[in-house]
Amino acid sequence: MPAPAPVALITGSARRIGAAIARRLHAEGYDLVLHYRGSATEMQALAAELEATRADSVLTLRADLSEFDRLPELVAKAVGRFGRLDALVNNASTFQPTPLGTATPAQWDALFASNARAPFFLAQAAAPHLKASQGAIVNLVDIYAERPLRDHSVYCMAKAALVMATRSLALELAPDVRVNAIAPGAILWAENETSDTRQQAMLARTPLARTGAPAEIAEAVRWLLRDATYTTGQVIHLDGGRTLAG
């Protein structure tokens, strides 16, 4: 009898980098629990694409990650459907400017909910199942967790909290569960980013002189989950060398 497929729960997986991670892990043989919030059409299309390749391998779950009760519920539904959980990929993120003098408590709550609180409490709920499978967690952070972005203080603070959560959880969950993070540079431009001047300036500070591809992030996630067996508590800077240039 063949061994059961490993199972990964991926948040924010309907499109962009999340969808690339889903495709890569599915190709690696994972069964997937794909979370989304508002991108129902894209989620349906992605699930159909993956199911056409391997039937009964995908469960889609809609949830607002700011609603605390949805977090353990996502894990419970994943385990209820597939009987196990081997990987948690905290990809979902909220990104918006909060210029000093205009930031509101509502913006603080929204940015910390998706970028810090939800990943932590999902990890807490998933921990017993990941320990049973000797699984792993990958968090998507940001180079701005270490180098602040003007007018985005609250976002930067939330991602910095996720970096510390990565390191703290790696210590707490060792030796059974590995926890790592990826800090992307310019992979996909923010959907409200329309300034070609700003884009070119950012690329000028990137030694590899190009944007990265979502598939490159997805491959790094796969490596951290499957092959990086002696790596935990680390942040992989996948930024084309941008952090070298200041």
Give catalytic residue positions.
155
Would you call the peptide bond into 119 cis, given omega within 30 degrees of 0 as the criterion?
Answer: no
In angstroms, rounded to a whole number, what is the distance separating the alpha carbons of residues 36 and 12? 5
Could you tell me which residues are beta bridge partners of residue 238? 184
In angstroms, rounded to a whole number, what is the distance separating the alpha carbons of residues 122 and 116? 10
User: 81 to each of 97, 147, 205, 212, how far by Cα in Å?
Assistant: 38, 40, 46, 34
